[in-house]
Every structure is written in structure tokens, then in C-alpha cells.
Amino acid sequence: MVDRDREYVEFVAAASGSLRRTAFLVCGDWHRADDVVQDALYKLYRSWSKVDRGGNPLAYARRVVVNAALDSGRRSWRREVPTVDLPSDRVLPGDHADEHAERDEVLTALGALAPRQRACVVLRYYEDLSVEQTAQILGCSEGTVKSQVARGLATLRIAIDRARQTERAL
């Protein structure tokens, strides 16, 4: 195996889990996340010789994944509406799964965000990237990241409050 290929395989083994989680948080669907990561890793492999492996190849890979996740949401097949809604699992008060319910509540609320807001919030607070790093990955200004995050957090608060009010009413 060529050194370049070995480096790529080692990188994929180390980073694919993180990239998959990021893709899921940006697009909201594990199957789409898998497709996004596969497409991104293919693109990354094609340009692997150009990637500065002495720098931060994870940042480059993350940018490719986030852009692919945002692009996949624009495809016409993503606008299809399911005809049957599956019942949601409800967690009873005092259940040992309260922590999972809160996580699910946040994931559901993330779905209420516009794609760019969602990407900004995920990169800033889940991936713990700086405003500057997030702006570089998304190819926008730092001011745009700040405003998208502020709007995204406000939308998250409203979505979570509504979900909790609905749950109390039931």
C-alpha cells in the first residue's frame, strides 16, 4: 500500500465516527448522514494528495461533510413528505430514560432550524469550534456565524419550550 493510501485509511478510521455524528446533527437523518459521509470521503480521497496533512485534515473533511449535508437537503427527493407518521415513543416522568428524552428533545428541536443555522449551532456547540473555525468551514463571515447561532439558539429555545408545553398538556 502506498504511504498516501495508508495515511488516508488511518485518517478515515480515526475520523469517520466524528464525521458521521456531525453529518447526522446537520441533516437529522442517520441514513442521509451515512450517504453524506461516504460522498465526502470519496471527494476527500480524490483530493487527498492536495490536503495539507501537516495542518488539519479533519477541518477540511468536516467542511466537506457539512457542505455535502447542506447540499443533500436541497435535492428534490428530500422534499417528499411521508404518508404515515410513526408514533413517537413517550417517556414517563421518573423513567430512567429521562436523559435520553432530553437528548431526543434537543435533536427534534434541531430539526426546526434552517440548514445554515443548524450547521452553525452544531459546529459551535457540538463540535466546540470557534466562531472563526466555523466561518472557515461554512465559507462565510464570522458575523454571519454569530447571527446564525443567535437566531438558531432562539429558535431552539422556542421549539423546546413548545414541546415541553405540549407534553405537559398531554
Does the pLDDT of residue 10 top 70, yes or no? yes
pLDDT at 139: 92
Give Cβ neighbours of residue 147 (< 8 Å, ≥ 6 apart): none
Write b or e for each residue in 40-54: b if 16 or more Cβ atoms lie within 10 A of its Cβ, otherwise e.
Answer: bbeebbeebeebeee
Enter the CATH code of domain 1-76. Answer: 1.10.1740.10
Q: What is the DSSP string of 21-83?
A: HHHHHHHS-HHHHHHHHHHHHHHHHHTTTTS-TTS-HHHHHHHHHHHHHHHHTTSGGGG---S
64-93 per-position pLDDT tens digit = 999 988 887 665 544 444 444 444 444 445
CATH fold of 96-170, please? Arc Repressor Mutant, subunit A (1.10.10)
Equal fold, 1-76 vs 96-170: no
87-126 per-position pLDDT tens digit = 444 444 555 555 666 777 888 888 889 999 999 999 999 8
Sign of CA dihedral 19, 42, 38, 117: positive
26-53 per-position pLDDT tens digit = 988 899 999 999 999 998 898 888 886 6
What gap in Å lies between CA 18 and CA 88, rounded to an integer? 27
Domains of the chain, residue spans = 1-76, 96-170
Has this prediction a pTM greater than 0.75?
A: no
Does the pLDDT of residue 146 top 80, yes or no? yes
